[in-house]
Chains A and B, each alone.
Chain A
């Protein structure tokens, strides 16, 4: 592998982490979904580049799935949901932006230290890839934890799944069946969560998950 292919792969994976940070920064739902679409596009590029350098044609399918579903179908669907729910003006971070960004930096540091140490014998590309993937997963979890709104928790979950796909494609030889099944499960999760969102909304006039707890008659 020459220097350039490695650098491009590195750039794309690093870009994915950067976009994750952008997601952390957004406090409006539309902006968050737009950034998620960018996240998916960068993921598709990264996967396609992996397909090119590994000469693994089935990875193009993965890239296409990422592009079509995650960059187009799901963001458009979420846009519609938000409009129908009328929550596009909500500011809904539970923790301040500054501490969240600092926590994100800490998580990236942790995953770098950990992954580079654990995989010390492996192929350098795979090592970097895994380290970035773990960062993205942790940042996705952080998004889920720091948001109140069910929609943004869905977005956090999906960006987490992007990290999983990145890790999977970095490791050579993952069969296509697994990726397709992961993609489908994500899609189904999206549909189910979408249905639930409307159900919650019908019942509570809000998709703030705090309303559920009020309904349970419990205190925070």
Chain B
């Protein structure tokens, strides 16, 4: 009987085979595109079937496989346990949806030979990272994933922006992998045990654990998009073709979250309580800053990428809470927080894929990513607008959709904080809860802007007037995702119970069995009185909304109204006088912008008698880029300029340098206490 892990490895092998095949067929557009995406769809769906069978049958018992490749005498170890099963579901579902979308979207690609070989390879890389069970295989797959996604980022490399995005992504990805390499080096210890099993058994000292935590925050955090390591993400994610953007934002960031959970919760053993403070701090910072950046953005895909950063912040806050509760031996609260994190990861993969697909459909239809040039698309693309609206509502965490449930669970975990013994956490957790609430509210504002400016109002440019509805494959992918957003929102109990093996294996506890609750309610903690019933909320919303629609149409629409003559119902006939994204975000920019973005607004009035119009100038600074990254770049330039002299020394001086360095090392060794 072949093990499940081996079956999934065959899936990875066939994805790699598809990548090779794609090189051959990518020169024949149309049929080649359909063949490749059809194959990846089939493989991902098959992997999902295997995983579904595993979840229904026995998700706990790990399934392992060893391949005789990789480091000599070590081989490549693979393992499928509850945690990796969950993330494989996320990856392969995202992969299947992106392939389905790509069946239609891919035909608009001007250079398919740059996309088709790397798309299956990227999927294979992500699958391998999650399957890996030793440090070498993990790092190799991680780097493979990074490189294949990099190749997809620079598909349209002739555009300056994209080339720059690719460069920054490459630098940040190498930096992240370096941090991971060091983290695994520390974990494997002087004995050099590269298998995760040996690391799990070793039990690192507190000092090593601290360094590993810091390195994982750098390594996994830079891939996931934790502030201030997020700079590559809003550049690289939008640069790729839209279905790849969806994969990168919706799925690859989850692979980074997986790496963090695997090391911090699984390999590192018992956490210390203050390590959770670090995670909470960066999570909260990421959530608020990510969504503030998104609000300032007028490029639709970049807005979505910034919103990914916010969601990663939410996930990391939940993970930090889980760490805090785990360190204080509060298993049921820890299980709640971890469930919230994983549930949000799943939800985010749903609605962020959906929104990127929608943005891709808009891009195909109009050729525009700038929201200020769109508008009124709801008349040209009614179905796309509908599913995009569903995605917006879900990501704004409004009931009855799935985003609400996971954020609600996170807040329930925040509410457990008074039971924590440490004062630091008692103060910190509610503060972070406040940040979480702020970011949720700002997210709602952000997606009102994204939907309203793009789809409502009147067209701002002629490109929009000739827009057409997306093709049927793209629509199918988007409708499936929208349906899942709703289903996971009204029936969250199934998902929570499905996540219980993961929390059981990592924390040793689980949330109460939700299926046992009456009326499909969910309760976070058995003894607490709060509960949520998505189905009831859905029914209530449906009834009250229908009633409101009926009342409006029955009484308001038929009533006589007076308006300006020849105004056609509009106050002003110029489309440019509509609300724009920038003007929509102005109140929020005034509140936060001066501090976070050093935003300055200046009105230039013409002198009396001058005929030019008055101008309104808005200046926004990316403070993190300017204060953190530019100085590093300058320092690097300065150092390389001055080290250039070392090229021109005599042989004797080179020898002297080596000799002096040796002496310094020996002195350090001699003086070391």
Contact between chains at B669 and A118 (CB < 8 Å) = yes
Say yes or no: is A58 at the interface (Cβ < 8 Å to chain B). no
| A110 surroundings in chain B (CB, below 8 A) | 663, 666-667, 670
Give which listed residue, B659, B666, B669, B670, contacts A145 with CB less than 8 A: B659
What residue in chain B is nearest A137 (Cβ atoms)? B662
Give 1 or 0 for each of B633-673: 1 = CB within 8 Å of chain A CB: 00000000000000011111101100100110011011000
The distance from the CB of B501 to the nearest CB of chain A, in whole angstroms, is 50
Q: Determine whether the beta carbon of B669 is less than 8 Å from that of A209.
A: no
Query: Which residue among A117, A144, A147, A153 has the maximum number of chain B CB atoms within 10 Å of its CB?
Result: A144
Task: Find residues 198-220 in chain A having any chain B CB closer than 8 Å to their own CB.
Answer: 209-210, 212-213, 216, 218-220
Chain A contacts for B655, CB-based, 8 A = 141, 144-145, 153
Q: How far is the CA of A76 from the CA of B663 in the complex (A)?
A: 33
Q: Are A145 and B656 in contact (CB under 8 A)?
A: yes
Please, which residue of chain B has its CB at the minimum distance from the CB of A94?
B652
Chain A residues lying within 8 Å of B659, measured Cβ to Cβ, are: 141-142, 144-145
Residue of A nearest to B653 (CB): A220
Q: Which B residue sits closest to A213, measured CB to CB?
A: B650
Q: Which of A111, A138, A144, A145 has the most CB of B within 10 A?
A: A145
Q: How far is the CB of A220 from chain B (nearest CB, A)?
A: 6
Chain A contacts of B652 at CB under 8 A? 94, 145, 147-148, 153, 209
Distance in angstroms from B673 CB to nearest chain A CB is: 11
Q: Which A residues lie within 8 Å of B653 (CB)? A: 220
Closest Cβ neighbor of B667 among chain A residues = A110
Closest CB of chain B to A33's CB: distance in Å? 20
Q: Describe A's contact surface by its main secondary structure.
A: helix
Q: B669 — which chain A residues lie within 8 A by C-beta? A: 114, 118
Asked, given contacts A144-B655, A145-B656, whether A111 binds B648 with beta carbons under 8 Å apart, the answer is no
* Residues in A neighbouring B656, C-beta threshold 8 A: 145
Rounded to whole angstroms, the CA-CA distance of A113 and B666 in the bound complex is 10
The answer to whether B670 and A114 touch across the interface, beta carbons within 8 angstroms, is yes
State A113–B659 Cα separation when bound (angstroms): 18
> Is A107 in contact with chain B by the CB < 8 A criterion?
yes
* Nearest A-chain residue to B672, judged by Cβ: A117
Q: Is the CB of A212 within 8 A of B667?
A: no
Return chain A residues, CB-CB under 8 Å to B663: 107, 110, 138
> A114 vs B663: C-alpha distance in the bound complex, in angstroms?
11
CA distance A213 to B654 in the complex (A): 12
Within 355-391 of B, Cβ neighbours of A (below 8 Å) are at: none
List, in ascending order, chain B residues with CB within 8 A of A219's CB. 648
Chain B hits for A113, CB < 8 A: 670
Residues of B within 8 A of A218 (CB): 648
Name the residue among B648, B649, B650, B666 with the largest chain A CB count within 10 angstroms.
B650
Min CB distance, A134 to chain B, in Å? 8
Residue in A closest to B650 when the chains form the complex, CB atoms: A213
**Bound complex: CA of A159 vs CA of B359, how far in Å?**
72
Q: Smallest distance from the beta carbon of B281 to chain A beta carbons, Å?
A: 41
Q: Is the CB of A141 within 8 A of B662?
A: yes
Residues of B within 8 A of A213 (CB): 650-651
Q: With A145-B656, A145-B659 as given contacts, are A111 and B666 in contact (CB-CB < 8 Å)?
A: yes
B649: min CB distance to chain A, Å: 8
- Residues of chain B lying within 8 A (CB to CB) of residue A220: 649-650, 653
Q: In the complex, A117→B669 CA distance in Å?
A: 10
Q: Name the distance in Å between B186's Cβ and chain A's nearest Cβ.
A: 23
Shortest B665–chain A CB gap in Å is: 10
Chain B residues within an 8 Å CB radius of A145: 652, 655-656, 659
Docked CA distance A118–B670 (Å): 8
Measured CB to CB, the closest approach of chain B to A131, in angstroms, equals 12
Question: What CA separation (Å) do A11 and B656 show in the bound complex?
Answer: 31
A141 neighbours in B (Cβ, 8 Å): 655, 659, 662
CB proximity of B661 to chain A, nearest CB, Å: 11
- Contact residue among A107, A111, A114, A210 (Cβ-Cβ distance under 8 Å from B650): A210
- Chain B residues positioned under 8 Å from A114 (CB to CB): 666, 669-670
State which residues 90-124 of A face B: CB under 8 Å.
Answer: 94, 107, 110-111, 113-114, 117-118
Given contacts A114-B670, A145-B655, A145-B656, contact A209 B662 (CB under 8 A): no
Complexed CA–CA distance, A107 and B659 (Å): 11
| Contacts A141-B659, A142-B659 given; does A209 touch B667 at CB 8 Å | no
Which A5-43 residues have C-beta < 8 A from chain B?
A: none
Residues facing B in A129-171 (CB within 8 A) are: 138, 141-142, 144-145, 147-148, 153
- Contact of A117 with B650 at beta-carbon distance under 8 Å, contacts A110-B663, A145-B655 already known: no
Expressed in whole angstroms, the minimum distance between the Cβ of B565 and any Cβ of chain A is: 86
CB proximity of B314 to chain A, nearest CB, Å: 51
- A145 and B653 alpha carbons, distance in the complex (Å): 7
Chain B min CB distance to A140 (Å):
10
Tell me the minimal C-beta distance from B668 to chain A in angstroms. Answer: 10
What is the bound-complex CA distance between A213 and B650, given in angstroms? 6
B666 cross-chain contacts in A, Cβ below 8 A: 110-111, 114
**Residues on the B chain within 8 Å of A209, using CB:** 650-652
Whose C-beta in chain A lies nearest to the C-beta of B658? A141
Q: Chain A residues near B651 (CB, 8 Å)?
A: 209, 212-213
* Bound: A191/B149 CA distance, A: 52
CA distance A219 to B656 in the complex (A): 17
- Of all chain B residues, which has the CB nearest A103? B663
Chain B residues within 8 Å of A142, by CB:
659
C-alpha gap A94/B648 in the complex (Å): 19
Which residue of chain B has its CB nearest to the CB of A216? Answer: B648
Once bound together, how far apart are the Cα atoms of A162 and B655, in whole Å?
A: 19
Determine the chain A residues whose CB is within 8 A of the CB of B662 once the complex forms: 138, 141
Docked pose: A48 CA to B647 CA in angstroms = 45
Most buried by A among B652, B653, B666: B652
Expressed in whole angstroms, the minimum distance between the Cβ of A136 and any Cβ of chain B is: 14
Nearest to A106 among chain B residues (CB) is B663
Beta-carbon contacts under 8 Å, B380-431 to A: none
- Can you name 13 A-B pairs with beta carbons within 8 Å? A107-B663, A110-B670, A138-B662, A138-B663, A141-B659, A142-B659, A145-B656, A153-B652, A209-B650, A210-B650, A213-B650, A218-B648, A220-B649
In order of increasing CB-CB distance, the 3 nearest A-B pairs are A218-B648, A114-B670, A213-B650
- Which residues of A line the B interface, CB within 8 A? 94, 107, 110-111, 113-114, 117-118, 138, 141-142, 144-145, 147-148, 153, 209-210, 212-213, 216, 218-220
Extra A-B contacts (12), CB below 8 Å, given A212-B650, A216-B648, A220-B649: A107-B663, A110-B667, A114-B670, A117-B670, A138-B662, A144-B659, A145-B656, A153-B652, A209-B650, A213-B651, A219-B648, A220-B650
